[in-house]
């Protein structure tokens, strides 16, 4: 399906300016579109418009703001298949995963609509007679959203759906590898905005370009919060820039996610979970499984079976039924994968798979399973590719320590049917990650929970639970309804 046809089915026109921002499909390396990166003046105008939209939007009652997100969710429902096809074309996801990504947008829209009537504060008992205290959540201002190629639409939606019901305009800087997904998504949002009575101009903005475009968004004091998803290197820069100007950062960076396969594990279940988590999305999720610690007593059985499965995984065109592993995003990803495998071999790792499948302008690989003598070096680095390092353990305490030894702290899991082991894994002394699962893999989280992780993952939480609070400003109010002026802590100041 040509990209222009997908846009037509979405009821949109494919923009093609013939500019310098060239987007290629990872499926075959063909050019999809040539756009123009935005210059400083355009970026500035977009932020100005978002800042100008803020007063009217913050004055719109929150349940009304939820109505806009409901209309947007309806657009997504009506165009789920076409938008998913665009995700496949531009990001290379297999059909089912691309549809799942759009479903994730619909889910967070539904969540946000409900939330729009539940931005609850607190009433707090005052120590003074005739006083009461309350805590309210107020809109914050324009929210900058920087997203990565691997979830080209859902991660924006996690942020935007919440920000919009919280009363904040949104400005999106998508990955320069997936601008069409962003343009199409905002085309659908613009349609919802057009049908909504009372949305201010500038409520939703788009910034196209590479890192410098994102830097402008990050440096602008009119943007009180920037939510950034991407590499730890990117997050380190974004976090420092925001800290300098006292902007808020919501960082969702890399992961070096692990699984522990315990002696009592339901093996068939663990096998399927590991295969999806390690090879799905061609290993290009921040939640992808990258390390597995397998109990010595089960090692040969588990690794033997994984090796056989890896050798026969259907790798190929993500649009074809039956394909489970689509392409890497580009040649740079392929080179990073090969460099990591070379480093693993140097460290004594035995590599199964990992070779390129096919040739030309697209980069398909057979996922790699790497038996490591111990956890060190390359195994402690995140490589955004389908590489699963496996090693043995003999004691659960040791396995938890190995799992926690990574610099990242996003997601983790244990496969066990032993209650003592699973409870220990999710206890304070267990996994140090933002996500700690039992008998499911580390990826594929539902939107209802808070999503994010510790350490070099950045510490932010997006999506469900009370993540919405990041998009609002907390206000404490003490109200004196008496005729007296008692001071707190019994202080006397008689004037
Ligand atoms: C990401 O890779 O940036 O849990 C997000 C998951 C998805 C989101 C991943 N729901 O794998």
Reading the block at residue 287, the tokens are 């939640």
Q: Is the whole-model pTM more than 0.90?
A: yes
Give the total residue count for the chain: 495
Q: Provide the pLDDT confidence category of residue 489 given band limits of 50, 70 and 90.
A: very high
Instruction: Transcribe 76-124 into DSSP letters.
Output: HHHTHHHHHHHHHHHH---HHHHHHHHHHHHHHHHHHHHHTT----EEE
Q: What is the pLDDT of residues 296-311, one digit of tens each?
A: 999 999 999 999 999 9
Give catalytic residues, as residue numbers: 252
Q: How far is the CA of 31 from the centre of ligand 1 (A)?
A: 27
CB atoms within 10 A of CB 328: 25
Q: Do residues 217 and 53 lie in contact, with contact meaning Cβ atoms separated by under 8 Å?
A: no
Q: How far is the CA of 18 from the centre of ligand 1 (A)?
A: 33
- pLDDT, residue 383, reads 98
Does ipTM come in above 0.90?
yes
- What is the average per-residue pLDDT within 440-446? 98
Residues 483 and 134: their CA atoms lie apart, in Å, by: 20
Task: Say what percent of the chain tops pLDDT 70.
Answer: 100
| Beta-sheet pairing, 364-365 with 356-357 | antiparallel
Positive or negative CA dihedral for 55, 56, 57, 61? Answer: positive
pLDDT at 404 over 70: yes
Sequence-ordered list of residues with C-beta below 8 angstroms from that of 247, at least 6 positions apart, any chain: 218, 221, 223, 224, 225, 226, 241
- pLDDT, residue 133, reads 98
For residue 252, which atom of ligand 1 is closest to its CA? 3
Q: How far is the CA of 59 from the centre of ligand 1 (A)?
A: 33
pLDDT at 1 over 90: no
Instruction: State which of 149, 150, 151, 273 you would mutate to test the pocket of ligand 1, scoring each by most atoms of that ligand within 8 A of its C-beta.
Output: 151
Q: Provide the pLDDT confidence category of residue 16 given band limits of 50, 70 and 90.
A: confident
For residue 286, which atom of ligand 1 is closest to its CA? 2
Q: What is the pLDDT of residues 119-147, one digit of tens each?
A: 999 999 999 999 999 999 999 999 999 99
- pLDDT, residue 492, reads 97
Q: How far is the CA of 263 from the centre of ligand 1 (A)?
A: 28
- What is the average per-residue pLDDT within 85-94? 98
Ligand 1, residues at Cβ distance < 6 Å: 104, 150-151, 155, 229, 285-287, 443-445
- pLDDT, residue 312, reads 96
Q: Provide the pLDDT confidence category of residue 211 given band limits of 50, 70 and 90.
A: very high
Q: How far is the CA of 227 from the centre of ligand 1 (A)?
A: 15
Mean pLDDT score of the chain = 97
Q: How far is the CA of 209 from the centre of ligand 1 (A)?
A: 23
Q: Provide the pLDDT confidence category of residue 17 given band limits of 50, 70 and 90.
A: confident
Q: What is the pLDDT of residues 248-284, one digit of tens each?
A: 999 999 999 999 999 999 999 999 999 999 999 999 9
For residue 288, which atom of ligand 1 is closest to its CA? 11
Q: How far is the CA of 290 from the centre of ligand 1 (A)?
A: 14
- What is the average per-residue pLDDT within 90-101? 98
Task: Say what percent of the chain tops pLDDT 90.
Answer: 99
- What is the average per-residue pLDDT within 332-341? 98
Instruction: Transcribe 3-37 into DSSP letters.
Output: HHHHHHHTT--------SEEEE-TTT--EEEEE--
């Amino acid at each position: 399906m040509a990209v222009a046809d997908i846009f037509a089915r979405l009821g949109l026109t494919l923009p093609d300016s013939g500019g310098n921002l060239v987007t290629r499909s990872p499926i075959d390396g063909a050019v999809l579109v040539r756009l123009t990166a935005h210059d400083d003046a355009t970026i500035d105008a977009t932020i100005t418009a978002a800042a100008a939209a803020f007063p009217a939007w913050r004055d719109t009652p929150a349940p009304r703001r939820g109505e806009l997100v409901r209309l947007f969710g309806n657009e997504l429902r009506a165009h789920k298949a076409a938008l998913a096809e665009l995700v496949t074309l531009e990001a290379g996801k297999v059909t089912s995963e691309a549809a799942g990504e759009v479903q994730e947008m619909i889910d967070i829209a539904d969540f946000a609509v409900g939330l729009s009537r539940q931005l609850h504060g607190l009433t707090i008992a005052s120590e003074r007679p005739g006083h009461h205290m309350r805590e309210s959540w107020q809109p914050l201002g324009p929210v900058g959203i920087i997203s990565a190629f691997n979830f080209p639409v859902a991660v924006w939606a996690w942020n935007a759906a919440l920000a919009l019901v919280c009363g904040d305009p949104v400005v999106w800087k998508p990955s320069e590898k997936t601008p069409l997904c962003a343009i199409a998504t905002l085309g659908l949002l613009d349609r919802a905005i057009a049908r909504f009575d009372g949305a201010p101009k500038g409520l939703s903005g788009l910034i196209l370009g590479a890192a410098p475009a994102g830097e402008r968004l990050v440096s602008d004091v009119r943007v009180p919060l920037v939510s950034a998803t991407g590499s730890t290197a990117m997050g380190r820069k974004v976090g420092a820039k925001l800290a300098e100007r006292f902007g808020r950062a919501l960082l969702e960076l890399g992961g070096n996610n692990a699984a522990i396969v315990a002696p009592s594990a339901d093996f068939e279940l663990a096998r399927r979970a590991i295969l999806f988590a390690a090879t799905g999305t061609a290993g290009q999720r921040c939640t992808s499984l990258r390390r597995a610690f397998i109990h010595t007593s089960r090692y040969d059985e588990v690794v033997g079976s994984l090796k056989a499965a890896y050798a026969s995984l259907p790798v190929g065109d993500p649009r074809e039924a039956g394909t489970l592993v689509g392409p890497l995003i580009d040649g740079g990803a392929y080179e990073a994968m090969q460099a990591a495998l070379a480093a693993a071999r140097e460290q004594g790792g035995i590599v199964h798979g990992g070779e390129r499948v096919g040739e030309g302008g697209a980069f398909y690989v057979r996922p790699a399973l790497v038996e490591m003598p111990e956890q060190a070096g390359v195994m402690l680095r995140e490589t955004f590719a389908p590489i699963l390092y496996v090693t043995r353990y003999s004691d659960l305490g040791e396995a938890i320590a190995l799992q926690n030894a990574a610099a990242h702290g996003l997601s983790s899991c244990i496969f066990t049917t032993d209650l003592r082991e699973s409870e220990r894994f999710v206890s304070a002394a267990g996994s140090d990650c933002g996500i700690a699962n039992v008998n499911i893999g580390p990826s594929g989280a539902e939107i209802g929970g808070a999503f994010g992780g510790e350490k070099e993952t950045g510490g932010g939480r997006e999506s469900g639970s009370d993540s919405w609070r990041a998009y609002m400003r907390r206000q404490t109010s003490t109200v004196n309804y008496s005729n007296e002026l008692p001071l707190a802590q019994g202080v006397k100041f008689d004037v």
